[in-house]
Chains A and B, each alone.
Chain A
């Protein structure tokens, strides 16, 4: 039986890694990967509490979470391709089109 706290700590560590990745990397594709890490951390929490309360609802929302992640990554990567076609870069520091 894995203690609940261990799962929460693993989830927290993965979330922190994801946040660091979003904040410090320049490559949009790696930023999207970091967002995937954050979503996985959330999912781990859902499953952990689902097990703790012997309630399947957490796992159902985990399935929805994975679906949302797939949709997000499809649209995000399409945007990356469109941006690359226009600007020849995947570097977030050079994407200031919507800045004022």
Chain B
């Protein structure tokens, strides 16, 4: 086993544990902290895959921005839940069955798909950041602008929804 693979397994385990803890903790603040763990582990996997730009964005936007937003809202609506899980036993069983079905379908699809050996990684000559930036501003300029408008609309919407009643 080479070192890259071992590091990948480490961060994959970290991401999985963080995810499980996120959805099982009673205290929402603890969930948010475990969510940070998952995001950072996924960011590390992006580095292993050579996606430097996405690593930076993941750390800045997810671990920096979205998590602060979550923590603010958790502090604002400080309510502990008496029962952690929704519905009765019946509903839990139904949810579990649905999830297992989804997992089974996807897993069999992966197992049956013909495995393609990955193309040997050849580091881009000018670096990942520059390549992604050039592509974003030439080929994908229209989606880029549309996304900026979407962010503006989301910002205005959040302000309108969150302002106090006059």
What A residues does B54 contact at CB under 8 A? 43, 47, 59, 62-63, 66
Are A17 and B19 in contact, CB atoms less than 8 angstroms apart?
yes
Q: A16 vs B83: C-alpha distance in the bound complex, in angstroms?
A: 22
Chain A interface residue count, Cβ-Cβ cutoff 8 angstroms: 72
Q: How far is the CB of A30 from chain B (nearest CB, A)?
A: 5
Chain B interface residue count, Cβ-Cβ cutoff 8 angstroms: 82
Q: A44 vs B106: C-alpha distance in the bound complex, in angstroms?
A: 15
Are B35 and A33 in contact, CB atoms less than 8 angstroms apart?
yes
Q: A52 vs B36: C-alpha distance in the bound complex, in angstroms?
A: 27
What A residues does B157 contact at CB under 8 A? 74-75, 78
In the complex with contacts A2-B4, A5-B110, A47-B46, A21-B23 CB distance below 8 A: yes
28 contacts between A and B (CB under 8 A): A2-B4, A6-B8, A12-B103, A16-B102, A19-B99, A19-B102, A26-B83, A29-B74, A30-B28, A40-B42, A40-B62, A51-B49, A51-B51, A52-B119, A54-B119, A54-B121, A64-B143, A66-B54, A66-B57, A72-B154, A77-B70, A80-B73, A81-B73, A81-B162, A85-B165, A90-B77, A91-B81, A93-B87
